Structure 1
């Protein structure tokens, strides 16, 4: 069984694209998707089950027949993704890219970039589809 860690942020459309990418690229009958949402500031004590983006990805994956498990972390998202992938000995990591200016990347960093640079696992970087 292929095990894929999907780092899911708050963006519902990016989460849907990540789910569709997994469905398109992997044998859905032989894949388990771990949906990880990282809470940087979680003062309300929210759960991963309450995150709309996670719910959308889970629904899309399960409707296609992919086995899904939910995970949550706290702190630095890239570190949570990398630690989860290591813990699960995942076959791949799937993250959603987003458009940022060079200054934005320098100031705020890039989760996708950090994941790519700090793992020896394959990393899929999904982008939102252009809408007309």
Structure 2
């Protein structure tokens, strides 16, 4: 069984694209388990992952391809939480999609994708945002 942690942010299009890219790879869907993970940083409304549009979008794409899907959430610093979650769940791969940012934008605002790639001991599959 291959366990993928598919990380999503608040963009439904990126969530759908990342899920589609996971299903486009040559996986045996009978031996594939995907956890769709979102890290809440500011959840004043108290939403849960099942109420979160991008999570539902990714889940629908994956389930339509015959993939077993679990929705998961956590809160805190996104990069740290993603790396920790994947390690705790013994994930085989972390899959995430990034935003287009200039080098200056990455330096000023940081890059969750870059931080996960540098700090995880697991393979990271980066899905282009388009």
Q: Could you tell me the TM-score, scaled by structure 1's length?
A: 0.94
- Matched residues, number: 129
1:1-132 matches, cutoff 5 A: 1-25=1-25, 26-129=27-130
RMSD: 0.9
Q: Which runs of 5+ in 1 are unaligned?
A: none
TM superposition shift of 1:128: 2.6
In the TM superposition, structure 1's runs of 4+ consecutive aligned residues that sit over 2 Å from their partners are none
Q: Could you tell me the TM-score, scaled by structure 2's length?
A: 0.95
Q: SS state of the match for residue 82, structure 1? A: helix
Q: SS state of the match for residue 10, structure 1? A: coil
Q: Which runs of 5+ in 2 are unaligned?
A: none
